Amino acid sequence: MDIDNANTTAITRLMEARPILKGVAAAKDVIPGMRDNLFLHAGPPIEWARMSGPLRGAIIGAMLFEGIAASEAEAVSMVERGEVEFDSCHHHGAVGPMAGVTSASMKVYVVENAEHGNKSFSNLNEGYGKVLRYGAYSEEVLKKLHWMNDVLGEALANALANSSGIDMRALIAEALHMGDEGHNRNKAGSLLFLKSLAPLIAKTMKDASAMSEVLQFLGDNALSVLNPVMAACKAMTDAAHGVEGSTIVTTMARNGTDFGIRVSGLDAKQWFTAPAEIPVGLFFSGFSQADANPDIGDSAITETAGIGGFAMATAPAIVTFVGGTPKDAMNATLEMYEITFAESKYFTMPSLDFRGTPTGIDIRKVVELGITPRINTGIAHKNAGVGQVGAGLVRPPLAIFEQALLAYAEKYGL
Amino acid sequence: MTAIKWHVRAGAYYDSVVLMQLQRGLLELNGVLDAGVVMATPANRDLLAANNLLPESITANPDDLLIVVKADDDAAAANAIGQVDELLARRKSSHSQSFLEFRPRSLSAAVKQLPQANWVLVSVPGRYAAGVAREALELGKHVFLYSDNVSLEDEIALKKTAREKGLLVMGPDCGTAIINGVGLGFANRVRRGAIGVVGASGTGTQAVTAHIHHLGGGISHAIGTGGRDLKSEVGAVTAHQALEALARDDETKVIVLISKPPAPDVAAQLISAAQSTGKPAVIYFIGYPPPARKIGNLRFAISLSEAAEIAVRELEDLRIEGSSILQSPNSRYVRGLFSGGTLAYEMMVGLQASLSPLFSNSPITNSQNLEDPLHSKAHTIIDLGDEFFMVGRLHPMIDNDLRIRRMRQEAADPETGMILFDVVLGEGAHLDPAGELTPVIKELREKRSGELEFVAVVIGTEDDPQNLQSQISQLEEAGVKVFRTAAEAVEYVSLKFNTNKKNGFTPVDLEQLKQPLAGINVGLESFYESLISQGAQAVHVEWKPPAGGNEKMAALLAKMKSKKEN
């Protein structure tokens, strides 16, 4: 077995994957294994007792949204009686930002990898303020979720059904040339997304004022495209998973308590986890580092696929997150070349002479150099329902890469 | 008569600013009158046509990059078109300069940052150094290995890999080198010139190069080998590669080879290789008796400063008498049968440098001791006047019987290719030694049908009883090559037995060696600063022990690496 050959195979699959946004549908209709009492969440699997505030809040909110509980108290007691089940989004081809909670009737984006045929899913982005993904479940949060499911979701589903889909790889590549890194900054990508969707929506929506609301919502939310981008990254990284002998990381995800990774050459259910760290960054006024929850969300799938924090060099507008100067941003990307196996063929950065983004984290390099991946991230308040309090940078614990290396050695008899 | 040439590049997309820059670069070239660089859209084609830059025969799609050059003549236009890639790349490398300051942690990242790097300087602690050097070789880079405490096994393995790839490993424990005018490690700032140095001693190289500079000469390259390169186990791999490269290098007119005393077999091969360069080569093996002042194109120095002086002088003279490699080299062994003990000993001193293995009953070193004086092996020089042979016998200067019998014995050995002997005339000596020896010599030469050569050193004067001239004539008439001094005989024999073996290495790419030096420094930061201050491009690797010194993880990673190689 040649590790480099295996990794080349994995990386080629990752880069050649062609994620196309094909549609929007109810989770239970499209996500494999989805059922009414199952609640998917971000990060590695976790039991209720160990869940952090934002994740618990989001689960309570989703149970209220689904109507299986009438109150917070009822939801909690149902959970404690074991009447609902939890699982990692990643076990179902899905990803969700922050809490990432996805329930049976929620509408999700359906992305299909035209190259290898695998599918991936992500919920719809709620925008800013009090939102479920940060653990909020007030009346207004639920009301917005219902509008999103019924009006926005319906509109998107009809629009996409009438199209050949949106080529997400091309969209990401273009957005990277417009100042996005694809994780914390999705302004350009969201506008490109709106540009593609608007004519399709106009063609299929009858009600002009509802259409106006939908377009306004998509346009106002600079994170509109984050979820389909994540689903696209998921489709790419899933295509790279399961290559015998490969040491490439195919998942990085956090559930607010643990940070977990999976590796291509190891079992799909084999997570390597350690306590998630608290991100360091800039805080909205009135909040500080003390309010921050440990790292949460599946959005690190973007870095896993070679964008996000790895493509900082192309996103000068958000350099304040990494030290303040464009040079710091450049150095952030240059550092990630150290631990990646390849450079992207399709995602390039003008500031680095159109060099491809660092792609495919190699656990060998992480352990050898002691450099962990840089992840750009939003920061959640540690209490359920408060929402986002800032944004910044986080790195996974080195220990999980060491664990993965040991497991690899055991599996392959090294 | 103006000429127009064009180039169409399909499927290439460059930002328009890049294209404008390329166009400007083309206009700056000699003989270029006008140039157009555009994506071949209808609008752009119209633009070119308006400037008379669109010959009708051009076919290009709107997605194609179209480059048109109008010049004084065909050659100038073709030259301009030929420079397109370079002009595009030039923009790239000057741009990348701005992020060369980033300090990567791994060699592989450094190489991506400075792809044109041709050297990796390694000065990390010894137990990690071989690993870094190995990685550098795998990445196709020459290695300057300053670190010491690298095991002999690692050195041998590294150099084996290097010679297969046509790369140099200078070191371990190599302190000094000057490549293409840039000093690596500890090196003096010396002018560039035509003297190439191969040095197994860092300070020795410094002393020689500085003195050459002082004398008005200059250095093409000074290639270090590391102190152990000339040990038998290593076999002077780097020194051989360096000699071979300097031989091909047009800039290098004179070669200096310096080392602490090498192993005898290694010295012999190196001298042979130095002869094969065909360039004047000055050799100073510190503490090793010089075999002669000169042997063919070789000059032997007795001090570092003299090595420099000879090199500068040779450069001024630059007169080697034709090719120093003799026709029809002798691939068998020389057997020397001497009546004069001192002549035998001088022959040993002279030949030990270039013949290996060499034995004698009158050895200079223990390893040359011929256990059984009655039987020669390999190259052998016998002192027949030694008391071992003298029991109940007359001295061979008086009695030729012993020597004749030994000549027959040697001639019967098919491994013998040359019989070397002395004829010492004068009072008290045999009255006609040539008269007794030549019939036998003729007979033996006939028996071996010309594959056995006879060489004699004749000591005497015209006034001697034997008459020098008549003795020489007899010998020459019998086909013996006659010399009047041992030194001349040493030179002849050395050149005759130059095996001039092809070493089978992949030759070092000279073009790469001549590229502006760009280096990746792993270890001592001062080496990086030195490169920068000399105007070389360099990247410094912020090196740390693998896995942060976690032995278990490091061992695992090493296993995974070795697995890859299998």
Looking at A80-89, A209-218, B377-386, B490-499, which range is the least confident one?
B490-499
Categorize the per-residue pLDDT at B13 as very low, low, confident or very high, splitting at 50, 70 and 90: low
A166 plus A257 within the same structural domain: no
Task: Assess contact for B195 and B253: CB atoms under 8 A.
Answer: yes
Instruction: Chain A: give the shortest CA distance to residue B561, in Å.
Output: 9
Counted residue by residue, chain B has a size of 566
Residue A216 in domain? yes
A209 plus A108 within the same structural domain: yes
Measured over the CA atoms of residue B201, residue B206, residue B212 and residue B214, the dihedral's sign is negative
Report d(CA B69, CA B91) in Å as an integer. Answer: 20
Categorize the per-residue pLDDT at B230 as very low, low, confident or very high, splitting at 50, 70 and 90: very high
| For residue B10, pLDDT beyond 70 | no
**Which residues 220-249 in chain A show a CB within 8 A of chain B?**
247
Instruction: Chain B: give the shortest CA distance to residue A192, in Å.
Output: 21
A219 plus A334 within the same structural domain: no
Query: Which residues of chain A lie closer than 8 angstroms to B108, CB-CB?
Result: 338
The pLDDT value given to residue B93: 43
The pLDDT value given to residue A277: 94
Categorize the per-residue pLDDT at B416 as very low, low, confident or very high, splitting at 50, 70 and 90: very high
Beta partners for residue B3, in sequence order:
B71
A41 plus A176 within the same structural domain: yes
Closest of A232, A348, A221 to residue A298, by C-alpha: A232
Question: Residue range A190-214: average pLDDT?
Answer: 96
Residue A101 in domain? yes
Which of A244, A338, A410 should we substitute to test contact with B (largest number of B Cβ atoms within 10 Å)?
Answer: A338
| For residue B321, pLDDT beyond 60 | no
- Residue B449 falls in which region: left (phi positive, over 0), alpha (psi -120 to 50) or beta: left
Q: Is the Cβ pair B564, A369 closer than 8 Å? A: no
Q: Find the DSSP H helices in B140-286.
A: 152-165, 202-214, 237-248, 264-276
* CB burial string B506-519: b at 16+ within 10 A, e below: eebbeeebbeebbb
Categorize the per-residue pLDDT at A327 as very low, low, confident or very high, splitting at 50, 70 and 90: confident
Output Rg (C-alpha) for chain B, integer angstroms.
32
Residue A5 in domain? no
What are the start and end residues of each CATH 3.30.70 domain in chain B? 3-95
Report d(CA B518, CA A348) in Å as an integer. Answer: 26
Q: Which CATH number fits domain B115-317: 3.60.70.12, 3.90.550.10, 3.40.640.10, 3.40.50.261?
A: 3.40.50.261
Q: Is the Cβ pair A352, B99 closer than 8 Å? A: yes
Categorize the per-residue pLDDT at B14 as very low, low, confident or very high, splitting at 50, 70 and 90: low
Report d(CA B110, CA B131) in Å as an integer. Answer: 16
**Which residues 268-327 in chain A show a CB within 8 A of chain B?**
327
Question: Residue range A122-142: average pLDDT?
Answer: 93
Measured over the CA atoms of residue A189, residue A190, residue A191 and residue A196, the dihedral's sign is positive
Q: Is the peptide bond before B262 cis (omega within 30 degrees of 0)?
A: no
Q: Which residue has the higher pLDDT, B3 or B85?
A: B3
**Which residues 540-559 in chain B show a CB within 8 A of chain A?**
544, 546-548, 550, 553-554, 556-557, 559
The pLDDT value given to residue B91: 44
Instruction: Report percent pLDDT > 70 for chain B.
Output: 92
Is the pTM value of this prediction over 0.80? no
pLDDT per residue as tens digits for the range B272-293: 899 889 899 999 998 888 888 8
A149 plus A37 within the same structural domain: yes
The pLDDT value given to residue B264: 82
Report d(CA A81, CA B138) in Å as an integer. Answer: 60
What ipTM is given for this predicted complex? 0.86
Q: Is the peptide bond before B291 cis (omega within 30 degrees of 0)?
A: no
Q: Which fold has domain B333-496?
A: Rossmann fold (3.40.50)
B106 contacts chain A (CB < 8 A):
yes
Looking at A9-23, A309-323, B122-136, which range is the least confident one?
A309-323
A308 plus A187 within the same structural domain: no
* CB burial string B340-374: b at 16+ within 10 A, e below: beebbbbbbbbbbbbbbebbbbbbeeeebebeebe
Residue where a domain stops, chosen among A203, A229, A255:
A229
Looking at A187-196, B104-113, B479-488, B497-506, which range is the least confident one?
B497-506
pLDDT per residue as tens digits for the range B117-143: 999 999 999 999 999 999 999 999 999
**Which residues 336-355 in chain A show a CB within 8 A of chain B?**
337-338, 343, 350, 352-353
What are the start and end residues of each CATH 3.40.50.261 domain in chain B? 115-317, 333-496
Mean pLDDT, rounded, of chain B: 89
Question: Residue range A48-72: average pLDDT?
Answer: 97
Domain range for A137: 17-229
Q: Whose structure tokens read 């792609």?
A: A359
Categorize the per-residue pLDDT at B316 as very low, low, confident or very high, splitting at 50, 70 and 90: confident
Categorize the per-residue pLDDT at B94 as very low, low, confident or very high, splitting at 50, 70 and 90: very low
- DSSP structure string for A123-181: E----SSS-GGGT--SHHHHHHHHHIIIIIHHHHHHHHHTSS-EEHHHHHHHHHTTT--
The pLDDT value given to residue B100: 65
Instruction: Chain B: give the shortest CA distance to residue A352, in Å.
Output: 8
The pLDDT value given to residue B566: 43
Instruction: Chain B: give the shortest CA distance to residue A149, in Å.
Output: 42
Which of A330, A369, A403 should we substitute to test contact with B (largest number of B Cβ atoms within 10 Å)?
Answer: A369
Report d(CA A239, CA A233) in Å as an integer. Answer: 10
Token pair of B368, please?
């040359």
Which of B88, B91, B100, B102 should we substitute to test contact with A (largest number of A Cβ atoms within 10 Å)?
Answer: B102
Instruction: Chain A: give the shortest CA distance to residue B492, in Å.
Output: 55
Name the domain count of chain A.
2
| For residue B257, pLDDT beyond 70 | yes
Q: Which among B95, B102, B557 is the nearest to A353, CB-wise?
A: B95
Q: Which residue has the higher pLDDT, A381 or B353?
A: A381
Q: Which fold has domain B3-95?
A: Alpha-Beta Plaits (3.30.70)
A279 plus A220 within the same structural domain: no
| For residue B85, pLDDT beyond 80 | no
Q: Which residue has the higher pLDDT, A264 or B566?
A: A264
Residue where a domain stops, chosen among A201, A229, A257:
A229
Compare all CA atoms of chain A with the CA of B541 and give the residue at the minimum distance: A338
The pLDDT value given to residue B511: 87
Provide the pairing of β-strand B142-145 with B119-122: parallel
Report d(CA A401, CA A282) in Å as an integer. Answer: 27
Q: Which among B99, B108, B553 is the nearest to A405, CB-wise?
A: B553
Q: What's the one-letter identity of residue A274?
A: A
pLDDT per residue as tens digits for the range A289-311: 899 999 999 999 999 999 999 99
Query: Which residues of chain A lie closer than 8 angstroms to B564, CB-CB?
Result: 2-4
Q: Find the DSSP H helices in B451-566.
A: 468-477, 486-496, 510-514, 525-533, 551-565
Q: Whose structure tokens read 């889909």?
A: A165
Q: Which among B102, B548, B550 is the nearest to A331, CB-wise?
A: B102
Task: Provide the 3-class DSSP secondary structure of residue B87.
Answer: helix
CATH number of the domain encompassing residue A58: 3.90.1710.10
Q: Whose structure tokens read 């209709």?
A: A29
Closest of A36, A12, A307 to residue A173, by C-alpha: A307
Token pair of A201, please?
């929506």
The pLDDT value given to residue A156: 98
A28 plus A86 within the same structural domain: yes
The pLDDT value given to residue B564: 53
Residue A327 in domain? yes
The pLDDT value given to residue B528: 95
A205 plus A331 within the same structural domain: no
Report d(CA B200, CA B526) in Å as an integer. Answer: 22
Closest of A162, A171, A402, A392 to residue A287, by C-alpha: A392
Question: Residue range B248-265: average pLDDT?
Answer: 92
A32 plus A137 within the same structural domain: yes
A70 contacts chain B (CB < 8 A):
no
Looking at A240-249, B241-250, B548-557, which range is the least confident one?
B548-557
Residue where a domain stops, chosen among A194, A229, A264:
A229
A70 plus A137 within the same structural domain: yes
Give Cβ neighbours of residue A406 (< 8 Å, ≥ 6 apart): B556
The pLDDT value given to residue B95: 42
**Half-sphere exposure of residue A324: CA atoms within 13 angstroms, side-chain side:** 1
Q: Which of A166-175, B17-26, B61-70 has the highest mean pLDDT?
A: A166-175
The pLDDT value given to residue B320: 47
The pLDDT value given to residue B354: 82
B131 contacts chain A (CB < 8 A):
no
Q: Is the Cβ pair A405, B557 closer than 8 Å? A: yes
Instruction: Chain B: give the shortest CA distance to residue A366, in Å.
Output: 8
- DSSP structure string for B319-370: ---S-SSPSS---SEEEEEES-HHHHHHHHHHHTTT-SSEEESS-SSGGGB-
A178 plus A289 within the same structural domain: no
